[in-house]
Structure 1
C-alpha cells in the first residue's frame, strides 16, 4: 500500500482555495463589464430613440391674429422645425391689414430677433436711423405674410383672413385635427381668450413716469417712413399760468426735465411727452390742470421747434386738427395674470402674446417691441411641447412660458419707458 504523503489533502484544499480566489475577481470583473455594456447599450438605444422621436416630433399650431406679434409668432413656429401644420386666423381682410398706415419702430433687439427669423430688411420699405428700422405696419405685415407663404413647401401653412375665432369655429374642427398649441395674438380688444375660457384679469402697474400724447393727420403729406426726432431736458414757460420752471429743478442728470419724441410718417405725425415721476410744481400743475389748451400749446410749440426742416410748421388751422391728452397722466402697464393655459380635455396648450398679453397706456411708437419681447421664448416653448412625453412636460413648458411673460412685464416696468424715451 502506498503511503499517504504528509499534508497531501491539505495541499489539495489550499490549491482549490487559491484557484477560487483567482476566479472570483475575474468573475466580478466580467459581471461589471457586462453590466456596464448592458447599461451603455440601454442608454445608447434610449438616447437614439429619444433623439429620433424628438427629430420626428411635429404638431399643429393655430395662431389667432395677424398683427405684427401674431405674424412674427407664426414665423417663429414655422422656423422651429416642429410644426407640421400652421393655421393663421384673422377676422380682418387682407386689404384691411395691408393698408394700415401707422408707423412702427423696431429697436436693435427686435431687429436682431427678426433677422434670426430670416427677415431681410433690405427688401422692406422703410429707413434706418441709429440702428432702428422704421416702416409702416401694413408694409411689415405684408412682408411677413409673403415669408409665410414661401414656407408652404416645407410646412402646411393655411392663412385664413376674414375668419373670426369663435366657439363655432372650434366646433367645426374635427377633434383629430385640433392644434396642440394655440397662440392668441388678437390685440387688446380681441375676445379669443374669453372663447378659450382664459381669465381676463390684468395686473396694472406703474412705470414711474408721467406722459402725454398728441397726433396730427395731414392729408397733403406723403405716407413715407420717417426717423423719429428726440429732444431731452425740456422746460416750458408757463409763467402766464402762474407756474415757473424753478432753477433748482434743472438738475444736470440725463433724466431731468421733459423728454419729447416726434415720430410717424409725414402724413401721420405723433408726439409723446414724458417725464420721470416727481412732485415738482410744474408736474403737479400739468397733471391736475383743467385747462385743456395748455397741453395743446406745449405740443404746438414743441413740434415747431423740433420738426424736420422739410415739413411745414403747425399754424392755427392745423393746430385745430391736432388731438392730444388734456393733461399729464401716469404711465401704466397692464399685463394678464394668466398668459398661458392648458385645456386638459383637448390636450391643447394656449399662450397669449402681443397686446393681448400686455398693454401700455402710453403710445411711443414702440409697442411692437414689447410684443416681440414675449416672442423670444415661443420657439423654446413649441419645441418642448412638440417633444413632450407626457402632460407634466407640457405643464412645465407652460410654467416656464408664464415666468418669461411675467419677466417681460417686470423688465419693461422698470426700464422700458426710460429706454424708449430718455435715451
Structure 2
C-alpha cells in the first residue's frame, strides 16, 4: 500500500499562522490604500475649495484702452475681490480724446470674449476691423466696469497719481497682490516700483514716415483705414530716376515699393508711409538721407489727394500748411523692457507691465492695430495662478510664464506686426 502524507499539527499551525499573516498584510495594505485615497481626496477637495474661494486685490495704473481692458480681464478671471484703477488724468481729459483707435480681428475677438458689445459703441466696421475714437472706447469700458460692481468691489480713482506716497497710505494688510502697470510710454510707475528702465531695442527692418493734418472745419467721425500698396514717386526733379507715381502695371518693379495708410477722423487725419529694407532702391536711400524737408511734405500731399475718400476735401497749396510730417524716412525700431514683470518680496506683490509701458514702436501705425492687446491675452491666467499660488515658487512660475509671453509678443510684433498693420 502507498504511504499517505498526513500534515502534522505543527505544519497545520504554521499554515494557519501564514494565512493569518497574509490576511493581515492584505488588510493592512487595503487600509493603507484606503487611507491614502481618503487623504488624496480630502486634499484635492480642500485644494479645489481653496482655489475656488481664492480672491485677491488688483491695482491697475492707467485708464487708457489697455488699462481699462486689463480691468475687464481681471474681473473676468473670477479671482479678484477688490479692483482699483488709478489715473492722474481726470474723466473729462480721458473721454475727450479725439484720436481714433482701430481694433484688428484678433483684438475684436478678444474683446468680445470679455463682453464688449460693438453694436452699442459708436464706430464703424471695415474688413473685420472696428474703428472708433479712443474716448468713446474708454467711456464704454468704464460703463462696463460700473456694471461689474455687483460682483467685484471696483473703484476707479481718476485724478489720482500713483506714487510712493500713495503706496505708503495703503494699510499693510490691504496692499494689492497684483499691480498692472499700463500708464503708457511716458509713465513713471515702473520707477516708483523699482522696475529697471533698461530697454532692448531691435530693428524691424522697415523704414517709415508719418504725417498729420488737423482741419477744424471737419467732423470727428471715425472712418475706415485707406491702404495703398506698391507706390512709387516721381523724384526726377531732385535728380532721382524712378518709376513715375503712381506705379503703372506696364512697368513692373523689380522690388517692392511703398505702402501708404490714411487713417483717423475727418478732423484729425493721419498718414503713414513705409517700405521694407528689401526695397533697396535709389528712392528709398534718397528719402532716408535727404535734408530737404519739403520733399516728404509734397509726397504726403500728393498721396492724400490721390487716395483720400471722395467725400473729404482735397489738400491745396493753401491748406498744406496745416500738415505736419516727418522730415525724411527713418528706420522703425521696437523697444521693449528687459524686465516686464517683477516680484516685490517684502510686500508679496506681483507686478506686470502692459501696453506701451512694456513695448513701444517709434512709428505710429494708427493706434491701428492695438498691439497692447496682445500682452493682455495671458493676464487672466497670470492673475488666476497668482491668486491660487501656495507659495513664492508658484508665484515665480506665474511671473516666468508672463515674461515669456511678453517676449513672444515683442518678437511677433517685430517680425510680423507691421506687415499686418501696413503691408496687407
Alignment of 1:174-189 (within 5 A): 174-189=171-186
Q: Which residue of 1 aligns with 2:316?
A: 315
1:120 pairs with 2:117 = yes
Conserved? CA contact 2:368–2:421, under 8 Å: no
- How far did 1:25 drift? 3.8
1:287 pairs with 2:288 = yes
1:205 pairs with 2:202 = yes
Distance 1:286 1:178 in 2: 53
Q: TM-score, normalized by length of structure 1?
A: 0.95
Name the SS of the counterpart of 1:187 in structure 2: coil
1:409 pairs with 2:406 = no
Distance 1:368 1:358 in 2: 14
Alignment of 1:76-225 (within 5 A): 76-225=73-222
- How far did 1:13 drift? 2.1
CA distances 1:296-345 after superposition (whole Å, capped 9, x unpaired): 11111111111001001110121111000011100111101111111111
Distance 1:248 1:126 in 2: 40
Runs of 4+ in 1 over 4 A off after TM superposition: 246-249
Q: Which residue of 1 aligns with 2:253?
A: 250
- How far did 1:175 drift? 1.0
CA distances 1:103-124 after superposition (whole Å, capped 9, x unpaired): 0100000001011111000010
- How far did 1:42 drift? 0.8
1:44 pairs with 2:38 = no
Unaligned runs of 5+ in 2: 244-249
CA distances 1:208-245 after superposition (whole Å, capped 9, x unpaired): 10000000011111111100000011111111111122
Conserved? CA contact 2:208–2:330, under 8 Å: yes
- How far did 1:170 drift? 1.0
Distance 1:409 1:276 in 2: 19
Conserved? CA contact 1:249–1:280, under 8 Å: no
Q: Which residue of 2 aligns with 1:419?
A: 420
- How far did 1:26 drift? 3.3
Q: Which residue of 1 aligns with 2:28?
A: 31
CA distances 1:144-185 after superposition (whole Å, capped 9, x unpaired): 000001111111111100011111111111111110111110
CA distances 1:12-53 after superposition (whole Å, capped 9, x unpaired): 222223334444443333222222211111111011000000
Name the SS of the counterpart of 1:236 in structure 2: coil
Q: How many residues align?
A: 415
Q: Which residue of 1 aligns with 2:247?
A: none
Greater mean deviation of Cα atoms: 25-34 or 317-326:
25-34
- How far did 1:78 drift? 1.0
Q: TM-score, normalized by length of structure 2?
A: 0.95
1:74 pairs with 2:77 = no
Alignment of 1:319-398 (within 5 A): 319-366=320-367, 369-398=370-399
1:266 pairs with 2:262 = no
Distance 1:301 1:170 in 2: 53
Query: Alpha carbons of 1:396 and 1:382: their partners in 2 closer, same or farther (altered >3 Å)?
Result: same
Query: Alpha carbons of 1:17 and 1:311: their partners in 2 closer, same or farther (altered >3 Å)?
Result: same
Q: Which residue of 2 aligns with 1:3?
A: none
Instruction: Give the superposed CA RMSD.
Output: 1.7
